[in-house]
Amino acid sequence: MPAMALKGKKIQNQQYDVCLSFAGEDRSYVSKVASHLQSRGIRTFYDEYEQVALWGKDLYEHLADVYRNAAKYCVLFISKHYAKKLWANHERKAAQTRAFSENDAYILPARFDKTPIPGLLPTVGYIELQHLSPQQLSDLIVKKVGIPAQSYYLPPMPDRLFARLKANTARSRRYVTQQAQEFVDALERMSDIEKKLLADIFMYGCPADLPHNIHIDNDLLRRITGLPPATCVRKFQRMASLGFTTTVSSRKHGVRTPVIELSFQMRGISYDGPETATGTIKEMIGCVAEEFCPECTLKAILKGDFSALGNATWRPEKHVRSRKRKPRVKHHSSRIAIPRLIFYSWRRAVSVTG
């Protein structure tokens, strides 16, 4: 029995924490719920947030995939209008297919009224919305979803990244979000060695040519990574399919020395912004490094965890709280102050490698 064979299998690494299925007549309420969820760091599939991504796609197949596979939970906003809508019923059927295959609480019904819905048993627990505000429902959804997965995670509102890049308009923020998401997607397809090399060049490379490219002296990269420059170049060149362009130059800033230049090109079909996103990657890694120690910064990059880019999702280093303060020793011997490593934004950095 093929259908029974699917039971118990859960989909991992969903793109969204929750997807919202509703009728257009209920949009005024649902839009406020979506806004509250986004401000809390919950990755939400809501059609108005996906206009560019949906443009040109086969909506019948794409929406079926989203409501069946792409989210951790699906909230159905049930009403007399919902029961009559073709697209809403299409989304519901896709969600019910997922719920049946996993035999788990995937569908979260939220009722405006008592309208019966095909396939939704009356014994399934639901939330009544008549006396519940959008913010109150959002709080309940946040509790249900829990802390979003931190692997290959980009906050739905990366406001700290917007601030670093001075993205103050809706268009510039859309471009930055698309660039950041494409980089996170590329990270998911890399090996740990490739991620570490990428982190090293963005953390220690010269930002003088940004946003077009970042470069690093061959010998400096060798000392940081312990790998021969030729090996580093080969590994960077193998990432061409992910959007990275690698060039080896023998002269930079008037100094004749071998350097590796790296840039990241956007390839999304629905993307219509600046072609190069190297500067955005620099600020993404810079934002993480500004809050964490070098070890935790590398761990975050290897994991694809960019929760530090949003004020709502940022969390302090875990080991900071458990770090015990050493007892102060009173003596008059000279003490050496060790400055904390600070990762400067490329817009205001002064590099020693260039």
pLDDT at 184 over 80: yes
pLDDT at 312: 84
Query: What pLDDT, on a 0 to 100 scale, did the predictor assign at position 326?
Result: 45
Q: How confident is the model at residue 253 (pLDDT cuts 50, 70, 90)?
A: low
Amino acid 272: pLDDT: 86
- The overall pTM is greater than 0.75: no
- Quote the pLDDT of residue 223: 93
Residue that wins the pLDDT comparison between 43 and 338: 43
β 71-78/214-217 pair status: unpaired
Residue 284: the pLDDT is: 96
Mean pLDDT of the chain: 83
Q: In the prediction, which pLDDT does 331 show?
A: 41
Q: Which amino acid is at 354?
A: G
Q: What is the pLDDT of residues 54-86, one digit of tens each?
A: 877 888 999 999 999 999 999 999 999 998 999
pLDDT for 109 equals 93
Partners of 262 in the β-ladder: 214, 246
Domains and CATH numbers, the chain: 6-145 (3.40.50.10140), 159-322 (no CATH)
For 21, the token pair is 């299925």
Read off the pLDDT of each residue in 270-298 and give the average, rounded to a whole number: 91
Query: Could you tell me what percent of the chain has a pLDDT over 90?
Result: 54
| DSSP string of 181-196, one letter each residue | HHHHHHHHTS-HHHHH
Q: Phi and psi of 221, rounded to 5°?
A: -65, -35
CB atoms near residue 243 (< 10 Å):
18
Q: Which residue has the higher pLDDT, 311 or 325?
A: 311
Average pLDDT over residues 103-109: 85
pLDDT of residue 156: 87
**Residue 3, pLDDT score:** 38
